[in-house]
Amino acid sequence: MPVLSEIARVAGETLDLPEVFHRIATAAGRVLTFDAMTVTLTDEGDGLALYSIGGAEISDEARRAYARMVPRTEYSTGLWEILIKGGVIDDVATACDPTFPRDRRLLDSGVRAMLRAPLHAGARTIGNLSLLSLKPRAFCGDDLALLTPIADVVAMAVAHARLAADEKARRRKYESLQALSPALAKALDVRDVFERISEIARPVVPHDRMALGLLTEDRAAVRVYAVSGGDFPDVAEPIRLTRAEQARENWATEIVRDVSAEIDKDSDRCRHLSADGVRSLLRVPIFFEGHWQFAGGLLFLSRKPNTYSEDDVPFAQHVADQVALALSHERLAGEARRAAEARAEAESLERRVAALSEELASRAGFGRIVGTSKCWRDVLVQAAKVAPTETTVLLTGESGTGKEVVARAIHRSSARAAGAFIALNCAALPDQLLESELFGYEKGAFTGATAAKAGRIEQAAGGTLFLDEAGEMSPAVQAKLLRVLEEREFQRLGGTKVLRTDARIVAATNRDLARAIEKGEFREDLFYRLSVFGIHLPPLRERPEDILPLTEMFLAELGPAVGRSVPGVSREAKDLLLSYPWPGNVRELRNALERAAILSDGGLITAADLPIGVTRQDPPATRSAPRAAAAGTASTNPFLPPAGVDLESLERDYVKEALRKARFNKSRAAKLLGLTRAQLYSRIEKYGLEREGGPGGD
């Protein structure tokens, strides 16, 4: 049919529906007799959408009346039913009720007969193509057969126009979302611009509130990271998900048309949404970290039901992808910042360790201690970490391990370096004298107190007070020291004035304070106050790789002291130094080398120059043990018998031997062992040697 070809050509030339309908009406008028043509769509709401009207016999007022959506309520039931039914309508006036607006307008227009052919989009009817006549019974079945193919072309034109309109609207929406990138690019924290993101997205995906929720590590709850739209009920704790919510295969994308009907009323989610009046929501996933792992969701929340459909998902996902990109940048920036901070902290710590090592290496005499063993480096790291703080430190370890050296290094690496470092050996003084030395005294406090004197605590103001052998303090002194640590205040002996101190306390002990607490010899509360930061110094036998470096350093120092340089140590002597357990630790090593340097007469130190305790084939603790050779076994180390070494027995025998040689003169015996008198007393008590006493004295 030539007319149908013309109509098809018209439909393909333009997407302007009013123009298409007008030209189709003109072409159709050559094969059908009618006064007007209309196109009504029924799938755009509860009513009829009158898209266009063509023909010359219809008034302009009637045309304007057609150019809008007409709700179902403006039609009478009779007129609505015949319009929906379609086909040939001989006299429409018989079904009109003038009390209804649409019926009255139709009567006023003079339209009597109609011919309505359905418009199909696939299997769905989307509306009707209608011919109108001012005469009743103007159409017949043959006219419907002619109109039906024209209706198919009109349906195709409507579909194409809709697609074009949808695409245009889609482009417009995406263009409006382009403002997201610059808004997010300016922010280091998504939360700072979240309100702006919501404003940009609202015309595209309507919402009353937008929220960003991130899954917790166990993926069992959602933490509200950001929210827009003014005040929002506080969500300090993560919103727990039900098991059903966690098990959803497509949990990431969700459309809820009615919260009260679709979400478990007993769930955390429903409670929070209902508290804010949310009726419907759309959630799209947030992916980041480069491996497309679901991390959370961007939610669009509305206080109206049925706000969202599948058509909204692509635009919402576009917003979510932009937010995810910003979150990834934010996270990378945070990781870079934390990495930089960690590097800076590591560099600072390394500088402090180097400063401590330099401090230890720069000290003269016994104070100069070197070492590269891991356990010694661990001590330096811990000391470097605590040095810049005001924390109380407790140094533990055997005698001679270098506790005072570490204490001085902590002081010199702290903000108190310009202040005084005051050391007090708590085991070297009787209780009353220790108390007066520590706290000071007023004039007349005791016999001989002819003038007031500041104690060590006062002298250490702005600096560090080092309490060596703190485990030897009497209960009375312990109680007063506890008050200093808790209240930062004290009184001099014989005084009534309360004084305050800001001295930092570093304490040291070689005692097992846990055992002393069990025996009631040391206050538990004082222990916890002193040991806020504990550092254990390893004995020399646990850091054998440091023995030879220490030996070289000590020999370099001892040259001027003995009046001659010492060229070094023979291989045999080195083997002896490395195999000896050094119960007196670094102090004993230095004393042994000083003696050997004197005996070597300026030559290499040999095994014969070392003290008898170092060179003895059978240490005192193992004299009763058969020699390895006598047992018929070979040994590469003559000083470590197969049965092993009992270090406590070894130490007991050394103390006993020193007392015998010194005729029980405690001062001389302590000097032979490289110990203080207090240290010697503690070992005499420990091993019960006072019961084996003899002539002699202090």
Global confidence as pTM: 0.43
Query: Which CATH number do you get for residue 667?
Result: 1.10.10.60
Q: What percent of the chain has pLDDT over 90?
A: 19
What would the mean pLDDT of 345-363 be, rounded to a whole number?
59
Answer yes or no: is 346 within a domain: no
Residue 280: phi and psi, rounded to 5, are: -145, 155
Q: What pLDDT score does 241 carry?
A: 81
Q: What pLDDT score does 676 carry?
A: 78
Long-range contacts formed by 431-438: CB under 8 A, 24+ apart:
431/474, 431/476, 431/477, 434/473, 434/474, 434/477, 435/476, 435/477, 435/480, 435/493, 436/493, 438/477, 438/480, 438/481
How many domains are contained in the chain?
5
Query: Which CATH number do you get for residue 608?
Result: 1.10.8.60
Answer yes or no: is 138 within a domain: yes
Answer yes or no: is 350 within a domain: no
Query: Which CATH number do you get for residue 496?
Result: 3.40.50.300
Residues in Cβ contact with 216 at an 8 Å cutoff, skipping those fewer than 6 apart = 222, 223, 238
Say whether pLDDT at 345 is over 80: no
Domain boundary among 120, 142, 171: 171
Confidence band of 21 (pLDDT split at 50, 70, 90): confident
Higher pLDDT, 324 or 591: 591
Say whether pLDDT at 9 is over 80: no
Residues 81 and 143 in one domain: yes
- Token output for 377: 């480096």
Answer yes or no: is 557 within a domain: yes
Question: Residue type at 195?
Answer: E
Average pLDDT, the chain: 79
Nearest C-alpha neighbor of 66 from the set 90, 92, 25, 37: 37
Higher pLDDT, 646 or 601: 601
**Read out DSSP for 323-355?**
HHHHHHHHHHHHHHHHHHHHHHHHHHHHHHHHH
Say whether pLDDT at 292 is over 50: no
Q: What percent of the chain has pLDDT over 70?
A: 79
Answer yes or no: is 262 within a domain: yes
Residues 523 and 670 in one domain: no
- 608-622, 632-646, 656-670, range with the lowest pLDDT: 632-646
Answer yes or no: is 25 within a domain: yes
Answer yes or no: is 501 within a domain: yes
Q: What pLDDT score does 67 carry?
A: 46
CA distance 651 to 687: 9
- Token output for 267: 């769930």
Say whether pLDDT at 618 is over 50: no
Q: What pLDDT score does 533 carry?
A: 94
Domain boundary among 171, 205, 240: 171
Residues 532 and 597 in one domain: no
Domain boundary among 504, 537, 570: 537
Residues 371 and 518 in one domain: yes
Residues 432 and 299 in one domain: no
Q: Specify whether the CB–CB gap between 43 and 124 falls below 8 A.
A: yes
Query: Which CATH number do you get for residue 286?
Result: 3.30.450.40
Residues 520 and 564 in one domain: no
Residues 679 and 667 in one domain: yes
Residues 67 and 153 in one domain: yes
Nearest C-alpha neighbor of 502 from the set 519, 487, 516, 520: 487
Domain that holds residue 693: 647-698
Q: Specify whether the CB–CB gap between 207 and 198 falls below 8 A.
A: yes
Residues 508 and 600 in one domain: no
Say whether pLDDT at 625 is over 50: no
CA distance 669 to 130: 126
Confidence band of 339 (pLDDT split at 50, 70, 90): confident
Q: What pLDDT score does 633 carry?
A: 36
Residues 571 and 665 in one domain: no
Instruction: Work out whether strand 464-468 and strand 504-509 pair parallel, antiparallel, or are unpaired.
Output: parallel
Residues 369 and 466 in one domain: yes
Q: What pLDDT score does 302 carry?
A: 92
Residues 520 and 399 in one domain: yes
Answer yes or no: is 662 within a domain: yes
